[in-house]
Structure 1
Amino acid sequence: MRIGVVLIVSITLFGGIVIAQQDSTRASLPQVIIASPLGGWTSERIVTVSGEVHGEGVDFVTLVLNGVSQRIRVEGNNFSRQQVLAPGENVISVYAENKAGVGADTVFVNSSAPRKDLRITLTWDTNGTDMDLWVTEPSGEKCFYSYKETKIGGSLDTDVTDGYGPETYTLSRCVKGSYKVEVHYFGGKEPTLCKEPTFCKVEIVKKEGTSQEERTVYKFLLRHPGEVHLVSEFFIATED
């Protein structure tokens, strides 16, 4: 299922969306078309959100998945980025802004993929930069870009090296013990961006899709390559 193109004139691009008013009469507003996924049902947990945007002065779009936003660079009127779906219904919206205002498209995707006990998602706000999500499990194993699968089933589902994210860690069944979440400013592909301060956002979701679901969001600034930020340390008491 999808919603047709919506035209609006105000948006906050990182950390939430604020719609001021709608205006469907301005022909110069950007047009956004989500080509994939088309909506409906899928058994996949990782999907590629891709499409087109038409309008002058649009270099980036904002993709919002279930309320979590991130920027994506537009190249040749096209955008594309892998996303990790939650079990059940997922709302995917893409917004594009130029001087005339904002255009958007939205699709609804239901995923039948098994739920995860733990999902941790990292996004950030600069292009050409590489932020790394590190998750250390109770055994001491660290899941990160060069060690993506752990013995208890932890997985780094996406590893983005060219800006914005997302990087996503998932674990089907948590084991008892302490978990540590860190973010490392690895660097960037473009020399002018390698040292750029970058705002990061990490969302930790426990027991996703259940009555015990718990979501926590952390926001922080990393100033230079090599910096490591301790996001959270938490203890899982049971394996149920």
Structure 2
Amino acid sequence: MKPFLIISLFPLAMALSTGNSFAADQPQEGVTLNGPRGGWNYAGLIDRSGEARSSYPAPPIDRGMQRNRTLIEGHIRTAGKQRAHTLVVNGNPMVLNYGEDGRFERHYAFGSGSNNIEIKTPDGKSAQRVQYYEANSQQLSPQLRIICSWDAPEAEVDLHIITPDGQHAFYAAPILKGGGGLDVDSVDGPGPEMFTTIDPAHGAYHVFVNYWGNYSEAGYNFDEKQRKKPIITTRVTLVFYENTPREKRESFVVPLRKIGDLNLVKSFMF
């Protein structure tokens, strides 16, 4: 696995001493959100890419596209009792899967300015919420982001995007010519996968999801019996002009019934 860049975080005390806005709810329902912390954060201030790091439930494979990402990590102490928490980033809901010990790590390519991270319980209550501020003015907000998440940790679901110029962004070719592509190509089972671009080409986009196979401690497999649910529920969210006054979102729920399912989720013009 190639090392990935961990965005440096100012200590909480320093964030408060600068007088910058910061908000964090007290943890509830046995949920702790450790990072990112509120306050001012500058991408690339300290390069920790050489540090050994493991993700939960399993390490993602870095295909060279995941740059300028921020780690969202925490602990759900009620993990053995309920496994349907939701991670909401800037209003975008994603299924939050986690390891047997309740720990989770997820990445997000934040744009500059104010961002919100929230963990919701299975009944929709807010368990923990923080306000995260990315102070790097060169970290532009995406004009187009497409997020795919699903509710089965054992499933490996792939996001496929066809762009107006005929390019195909997916796990084997995540980077688009001209910039953008799959910022988070999740290959460890839990998702999410994200397509992000700050300068999308104008024309028709086509969004597909594919139930590629399953993932376990023994590796990848195509054994339907390892599936724990008869139907895997996939949520695909389209975000236009994220974190700006022009922002709008569309969400789609797509059922996947068998390995190999390939579904056209949405075709749209940008």
TM more than 0.5: yes
Question: Residues 57-72 of structure 1 correspond to what in structure 2 (within 5 A)?
Answer: 57-58=80-81, 60=83, 61-67=85-91, 68-72=93-97
Between 52-61 and 79-88, report the one with greater CA deviation: 52-61
Equivalence for 1:202: 236
CA RMSD of the aligned region, Å? 2.6
In structure 2, which of residues 128, 138, 141 is the aligned counterpart of residue 105 of structure 1?
128
Q: Which deviations, in whole Å up to 9, do the C-alpha atoms of 1:99-134 show, x marking residues without a partner?
A: xxx882221102242112211111111111111111
Q: Which deviations, in whole Å up to 9, do the C-alpha atoms of 1:214-239 show, x marking residues without a partner?
A: 21111111111111111111222xxx
Equivalence for 2:264: 230
Name the SS for the 1:72 alignment partner: coil
Maintained 8 Å contact 1:72/1:80 = no
CA distance in 2, matches of 1:120, 1:213: 13
Residue 261 of structure 2 is aligned to residue 218 of structure 1? no
Between 159-168 and 180-189, report the one with greater CA deviation: 159-168
Question: Residues 67-216 of structure 1 correspond to what in structure 2 (within 5 A)?
Answer: 67=91, 68-95=93-120, 104-111=127-134, 112=136, 113-190=139-216, 191=223, 192-193=226-227, 196-216=230-250
CA distance in 2, matches of 1:181, 1:132: 11
Q: Which deviations, in whole Å up to 9, do the C-alpha atoms of 1:133-173 show, x marking residues without a partner?
A: 11111111100111011112121011123334110001111
List runs of 5+ in structure 1 lacking aligned partners. Answer: 8-29
List runs of 5+ in structure 2 lacking aligned partners. Answer: 1-21, 44-67, 217-222
Using the size of structure 1 for normalisation, the TM-score is 0.77
Maintained 8 Å contact 2:161/2:208 = yes
Deviation at 1:79, TM superposition (A): 1.9
Using the size of structure 2 for normalisation, the TM-score is 0.69
Equivalence for 1:33: 32
Counterparts in 2 of 1:198 and 1:39: CA distance versus 1, 3 Å: same
Counterparts in 2 of 1:178 and 1:96: CA distance versus 1, 3 Å: closer
Q: Which deviations, in whole Å up to 9, do the C-alpha atoms of 1:57-104 show, x marking residues without a partner?
A: 346443222231322213334222222324422211224679xxx882
Name the SS for the 1:149 alignment partner: coil
Deviation at 1:6, TM superposition (A): 4.4
Residue 26 of structure 2 is aligned to residue 5 of structure 1? yes
Name the SS for the 2:96 alignment partner: strand
Deviation at 1:195, TM superposition (A): 8.0
Return the letter of the residue paired with 1:3. A
Name the SS for the 1:5 alignment partner: coil
Counterparts in 2 of 1:4 and 1:218: CA distance versus 1, 3 Å: closer
Counterparts in 2 of 1:146 and 1:194: CA distance versus 1, 3 Å: farther
Counterparts in 2 of 1:77 and 1:185: CA distance versus 1, 3 Å: closer
Structure that is richer in strand per residue: 1
CA distance in 2, matches of 1:6, 1:59: 17
Deviation at 1:43, TM superposition (A): 3.9
Q: Percent identity between the aligned chains? A: 29
Maintained 8 Å contact 1:48/1:83 = yes
Counterparts in 2 of 1:104 and 1:136: CA distance versus 1, 3 Å: same
Return the letter of the residue paired with 2:98. R
Return the letter of the residue paired with 1:53. I
Equivalence for 2:51: none
CA distance in 2, matches of 1:220, 1:43: 37
Deviation at 1:177, TM superposition (A): 1.9
